[in-house]
Structure 1
Amino acid sequence: MYYTVPNTTLGVAMHVIYADVVWFINLAMDCVLLVIAGWMAKRPVRWRRIISGGAMGACYSMILFVPVLSPLTTWPGKVVMSMLMVLVAIPVRTLLEYLRVCSLFYFAAFVLAGAALALHFAIPGATLAGGTMALANGVNFVGQLGVFALMIAVPVGVVVIYSAIGWSRRKQNEAGVLYRVRVNFFEKSVEFIGLADTGNRLRDPVSRRPVCLVEARVIAQLLPEDMGQGLVSAPSLSNWLLGLEDNYSRRMTVIPYRSAGGREQWTVALRPDAVTIEQGDHWQQAPPCLLAIQQNPLSVEGEFKAILHTDLLMGDDSLENHSNPPGNQHSVAHTAAPTLDSSSHESGRRCR
């Protein structure tokens, strides 16, 4: 950053650099980067340490005015200084945490620099993109990459980082609510994605087994082809239920429930042979449960096919865990599941 001042004596323009201005700008930028890195790392922000770290970076920028010390401005020197700044400014407990904070510091620096560079080239005109402002008496104020672009880039970069971190944290919080589920019924098996919902308190009034809601197209894959097609195309579950064979009808149960709106309804539930849920790097056997058939899609985006009862995630201690088969990871759905409750009913009806 410098001022261009016409020299009337020599008839040429002179570049006048104000070291104090350069120092304060570097102090402010370094403090902003350290605060952002500390926030992303969820470390306490102590302003005395932040200012101390920023002052180290600002003093380091003064080396540019000392040609003898120019070797210290190489990439290794910049990396060492930035790591020292982080060490002074942000309290850490372990080496791994320190390296993580350093990487977040560099990430914040790249985002802010990218925002400044984008503004530098995106907005035409000498005032912002060139970083030049005409002043009185023929004096030009010039900043590298555009001082004004940098002033705009700081809040823009902070907003971008804040939004990205918020989105990432939401994804991490939601990552624990979607599970891969495998259901065995007679000699067939099917896998699908289930959403664990704390609002699902539905239980069979007779056996007190937890009840999961599963789309009819998934249940159809566990049935013979004609029964499965009949289930998907049936106008109502009652008509489909009357046409089942005895060995299948004995595995069905009528479940009464009350939806979030208070309306009392009923559905047909299937009693599977086994249900296993992928948890981490293994498959865990779920306790005995029922799968209530839902003819309408449970997720608008189609990201899950079932709403799981949270009791299923506790597992069945009497059974051993199974090995984890290969499979793709799935993203989290954003569709809220309805609250279900069976407390208003005392008994269910078995289909024989």
Structure 2
Amino acid sequence: MVVYIDILIIENFFVNLFLLLVTMKVLRYKYGKSIYFAAIVGAFYTVVLFLQSSILTSLPIKLLVVLLMNLISTKSFKLQNLIKSSVTFIIISFTLCGFCFAFSIMDNQYSIFKSFEINNYSIKYLLISIMILYIVVVRITDYLRERALIKNFIYEIEIFDEKNTLSIKGLLDTGNALREPVTNLPCIIIENDLLSGLKVPSNELFYIPYSTIGEEGNLKGFKSEKVRIKGEGKEWKTVEVIICSCKNKLSKENEFNALLSRGVI
């Protein structure tokens, strides 16, 4: 029998990705793009079968590969979660194997007096196609759900000075409670490049202390003449805030250019 390693690796990649996605969905664990790398690790482990090594194909090594795949997928170092996801992955794998074996009996004659051999498995690519379809549907629904969630927290912002008006979009950061300590006004953090067109009063600057994980310092801010915000399906609202500048790009997809603290709403 001729076995094409590249086809074998690709098929196992989709099977592993399908199993990992089902595992994460069943346990409601968060996962990222690393789940694809985990599926690749499992796919390349299949090549070990051709090495005829009793050590690499032993049960402890197989369990370690399963643990590694789940560790890469969830990025969780909690032993309890890792064991739970690995056991679930194995159970789902055994269930899938049972279905595959049941379908193989349909395509191959079976007798209790002879050893069972799989010579024909026409439904194989149908099963793989269903797995690929499931993977595509899951990724599309996750993407649409994420976009819909972000859209609900996107606000239109208009900032006015004596001559200019700056119109941008900002994301409401519910975990951000940044306020100027003297005036107790909430802050809006905006990318520095966008503030170049506004007149910043040099004699009315504020320095707002902030603290994040592994970093702390002071943000330079100012109070604009007028600031308005508008949420999805809502009316414009004038707010009193401190405008702070930020050197970093806030959104890679350029969906928003500002962050609103929860006190702004």
The alignment's TM-score, normalised by the length of structure 1, stands at 0.38
The alignment's TM-score, normalised by the length of structure 2, stands at 0.49
